Amino acid sequence: MPFDYKKLWMLLMEKDMKKKDLEEKAGLSSATIAKLTKGETVTTEILERICRVLGCDIGDIMELKS
């Protein structure tokens, strides 16, 4: 099942952050950012790091597409 990370991108805009900012603050690779952009799966560790940086819950950054 593909994932939808639209909530993540909206949250970044609300916090006036760019993908590059998230990459640096969460210690992500550019390949991981590319996966998120394409709606591909990433590890729960990655999602946890993103949530910690943004101060949010996993449901605030993603949802399953049906």
What's the confidence (pLDDT) of residue 64? 87
What's the confidence (pLDDT) of residue 65? 83
Residue 33: give the domain boundaries: 3-64
Query: What total number of domains does the chain contain?
Result: 1
Token output for 61: 């950054």
Q: Is residue 32 within 8 Å of 26, Cβ to Cβ?
A: no
CA nearest to 11, candidates 65, 63, 61: 61
Where the chain has pLDDT below 70, the residues are: 1
Amino acid in the structure at residue 47 = L
pLDDT in tens, 13-28: 999 999 999 999 999 9
CATH number for the domain spanning 33: value is 1.10.260.40
